[in-house]
Structure 1
């Protein structure tokens, strides 16, 4: 069984690339008010939710249980509409030595976009499950943001 791996999910949303990416890049603090599975989020370190120096503390519902973790933006490319996150501490550190998430938003036409979430991970041992529940969390959260923005 592989200890290191990379998994991803890709799907279409019905809002423009710029609208979805704006939520991630400029209004990430509002995710907890949009997504049902995000129970809470706060700025743990730093002054701004959207810079690489800041650390956020999250409480989320994943794989049927409430988990906590910290997250930091590793890199953001506004031109390519991609953000890389490092997820650490809390429940993540109990199972993974490395846990990185990348989101890439690409335009399909003026009204729709394609979102791809990728998780790169290293398990602490071969008995740890591959983090498919986290992909499901990102996919459902993205769809909730999509629905929220369609109503706005």
Structure 2
């Protein structure tokens, strides 16, 4: 039986400036371990350059107290739209999901900046949980970055 594509979306108001968030995530992801050390332990460049389509990065991060890794290819980077997508190549999440794509989009509505996280995926097994803990991780991560910028 073929699995169906699924999508989870979370939008977080970001008072510290969406431009700053997008710049940090797109061009300086290796600094995020300094900003949120409890969530992200490392971001290493394997191929290409940060902020460049086709580049490959490897994350070490902790979700629900469990250390995990993810190797991702950057794609659909649009600096004007403040959007970046990460296609999952390797890592713990691929034990549960296939074709996982994580998109971060920063937009301003009514003078407020919002960070929108979209996780697109297919369950490898119908009994697998949907990645709600990952979505919650992204929400908490966004709030921690905001708090860090505000100091």
User: TM-score normalized by structure 1?
Assistant: 0.89
CA RMSD of aligned residues (A): 1.6
**Separation in structure 1 between the aligned mates of residue 12 and residue 82 of structure 2, nearest angstrom:** 15
May I ask how many residue pairs the two structures share in their alignment?
A: 148
**Separation in structure 1 between the aligned mates of residue 28 and residue 46 of structure 2, nearest angstrom:** 16
Residue equivalent to 1:128: 128
- TM-superposed CA distance for 1:4, in Å, is 2.5
Matches within 5 A, 1:62-101: 62-101=63-102
Residue equivalent to 2:33: 32
Residue equivalent to 1:105: 106
- TM-superposed CA distance for 1:17, in Å, is 2.0
- TM-superposed CA distance for 1:147, in Å, is 1.1
> For each residue in 1:7-53, what CA deviation from the matched residue of structure 2 results, as whole angstroms up to 9, or x when unmatched?
1111211122212211122212211111121122211223x122122
**Separation in structure 2 between the aligned mates of residue 97 and residue 51 of structure 1, nearest angstrom:** 23
Does residue 50 (structure 1) correspond to residue 89 (structure 2)? The answer is no
Is there any run of 5+ residues in structure 1 with no aligned partner, and where?
Answer: none
- TM-superposed CA distance for 1:133, in Å, is 0.9
**Separation in structure 1 between the aligned mates of residue 128 and residue 89 of structure 2, nearest angstrom:** 16
Q: Secondary structure at the match of 2:20?
A: helix
Residue equivalent to 1:141: 141
| 116-125 or 19-28: bigger deviation | 19-28
Is there any run of 5+ residues in structure 2 with no aligned partner, and where?
Answer: none
After the TM superposition, list the runs of 4 or more consecutive aligned residues in structure 1 that deviate by more than 6 angstroms: none
Distance of aligned partners of 1:98 and 1:63 in 2 relative to their CA distance in 1, 3 Å threshold? farther
